[in-house]
Structure 1
Amino acid sequence: MLTERTLSTTGIDAIALKPTECDVRAALDLGVETVAIDYEGREHLPDAATLRALADNLTVYLTTPVRADGFDALGDGSLVERVPPDVGRVLVAGNAAYLTEAERARAVAPRLRAALADYHEDAPAPWVGTEGIERLALAAGGVQYDLLGRATERELRALRAVGFDGEVAVYAPTVLTADEDAILDALGGYVSRRRAVRRALPDGAATDRTATGRAREVLLAAADDFALVGTAESVREQVDALHEAGATTVVGYPARGPAAFR
């Protein structure tokens, strides 16, 4: 069971949960103050009662793709009505895997601008997902929401050095173990989709615990680059480094599930 002591040891500020993997109401028992709920298609969107139960006790952020029907500020915005006014939103372009062809063709910039203009004043400050739209996100404002990567610390320092004083949240898949097989089972598929990792992997290589040789080396190195991996104490060192570089919030996604996040 994920415990408050575990989170205190790791230094992680918030937890991200995927509604296809767990009942997001589990956040109420995890000893956290902030939870971010990932978007995995409208059919998996938590209902209003669930969001209300969470928001009554926690700071809640719900990922909403601005190009998707239901969250389109320039079109169908019907799903926004299901979101309690005090639930914060993570405004993202949207992963193509969860969008129709018509949705993928929609322009991001005007929809992001309109969503920010219509943002409810009772909600926490919006987070703007930067993946694939880094410049647009920075220009739009809000809390910048970055995926952890090889260059994250360097980029954070550069932003602070040129005077950027806004908030930056960093999303990081997290595995609290040093066991290589467990790390590969939890993260191998995720890191293998990164372009640099994909290029470095041998053709047809396994990406889970069965990976061997060069593939295993590449995947384990990538796990260190794109995730928080290791004991709670070593993860704390990584989180501290992100904070020192300029991250204001580190959001950990328990890649082995909340129950395995010990």
Structure 2
Amino acid sequence: MGLGHPAVGLQRALTSAGVRAGDEVIVPSYGTADVVEAVRQAGGMPVYVDIDADSFCLDPAAVEAAVTPRTAAVVPVHQFGHHADMTRLGELAGRRGLFLIPQETEQSSSVETAMRQANAAFLSQRLSDVITPRVRPGVEHTFHQYVVRVPGNGRPDRDAFARTLRAKGVRCRVPVQTPVHRMPPFRRDVWLPETERAADECLSLPVEAGMTRRELQRVASACNALGGLLQPA
């Protein structure tokens, strides 16, 4: 990892906060391995906690249930541009004497963010057969990714949906193929139902700032045309 890598900054923040070898650090499994690697480099022991189904960020109730006398810190991740519930997590951290150390987030200009938000709103108004992103009241979503859930029978239907969209020229990708707790270097025997469900159902659709309304409508039309092919179980 280079000095500019986000995990390096997080590792330094953990070390500066006082995380020491053997301390437990609560992290999400739904995302990249960068956060877990930073915790390990700082000497901490990652503890995987489930996400909130709407925001894809750490579920504060699950965080509280995971706290032990060895817990030193919580690392929220603002997933896909949706901010974690820092109010509840901050209150929890203060009450339980924990460090609250968010992962550094991707920065964009206010103009780019506003354009993505407008594009996301356009798609959400027109998509009819996928579950569009939900934004918690009072929380900003910058839509670094526009992530929908594909209804049906989980991963097989989601993957079939994605293949058909790509064949129609729509750029889409699975945002998290494998939760970190199931990756061989970081594997832990834990059951995180919302994390597993998100990994099986979610698909990221294009919502870049430079997209035209015609391009966005093409994405919506391609998705809506598949509504009759993939039905909820």
TM over 0.5: no
1 or 2, which has the higher strand percentage?
A: 1
TM, length-normalised to structure 1: 0.27
